Structure 1
Amino acid sequence: MNGDVLHPGPTGSANGSAGPAEERAGEDRLRRERAVTFARASVELEGFSIGAEAEQDAALFISGEIDLGEFIRRGKARAAF
């Protein structure tokens, strides 16, 4: 090298590839997204639809902004009569 300094790329490593933490975060997000997709399909196959608030909560869950417990709590609160 000619005095160049490697700086971490946007994914956190000097070579631009994802490090273990980033890979785990990506895997977790994919797992949450698949779970929501499966649940959505199940609900729709039963002839029901998912409301806008539930879709917003699903997006928050997928992004990791809320955890599964909070996602379920919010759904139950909407379903309460």
Structure 2
Amino acid sequence: MRLFSKKNPFEKLKEEIETVGKGWFGSVRTPQQQFEQLIILEYKVGKDKNLSPVERFTLERKIREKRLQIELAQRR
């Protein structure tokens, strides 16, 4: 019996994308750090062979949306 359920790669990456910009204990990352985090995630999504094309597209879209949110927040 396993104590921890293993998440599939799609769910794991999706969760990472959603938490971009949130540091430890609620601290907020700078826009530059957030962009760096998104670049790393984009690389992980592109390299992961276990993702279906639909999952890959979904994650790439989420990354693009997150990037736009950061850019809009910077302009305010």
TM-score above 0.5, yes or no: no
**Of Structure 1 and Structure 2, which has the larger fraction of its residues in helix?**
2
User: Greater Rg, structure 1 or structure 2?
Assistant: 1
TM-score (normalizing by structure 2):
0.32
TM-score of the superposition, structure 1-length normalised? 0.31
